[in-house]
Amino acid sequence: MQTENKLIDDIVKMVNSAAGTIAGMGREAESSMREKAREFVGGMDFVSREEFEAVKAMAAAARDEAEELKARLDALEAAAAKPAPRKKDATSTTSKKG
């Protein structure tokens, strides 16, 4: 048995409308908060994962290059520290004018 009461139908329509409005307001508030969070994070100069990974790779390459250069420098310093065999200099055997 179904009653046809206009007052109850109007109340049901009003509640359904209010529920739809509240759900829409919730979605709008969520999207607004997401946008505010993006602006906040963007203003703090955070970097993306891709940018971080690129800089990390560049730092690793620079570290490897620095290690190679240090090894070369150590080899050059070791070679310079060894006394080289002396050759007789022709200028030292010439007579002095005086």
At 89 the pLDDT is: 60
At 95 the pLDDT is: 53
Judge whether residue 1 has pLDDT over 70.
no
Judge whether residue 83 has pLDDT over 80.
no
Q: What average pLDDT does the structure give for the chain?
A: 85
Q: What is the mean pLDDT of residues 26-32?
A: 94
Domain boundaries of the chain, sorted by first residue: 1-46, 47-80
Element (H, E) at 2: none
Helices (H), 1-98: 6-43, 49-81
Q: What is the mean pLDDT of residues 18-36?
A: 92
Backbone angle region of 45, left / alpha / beta, with phi > 0 → left and psi within -120 to 50 → alpha: left
- Rg of the chain in Å (alpha carbons): 41
For residue 34, which of 44, 45, 26 has the smallest C-alpha distance? 26
Judge whether residue 33 has pLDDT over 90.
yes
Judge whether residue 57 has pLDDT over 60.
yes
Q: Can you give the length of the chain in residues?
A: 98
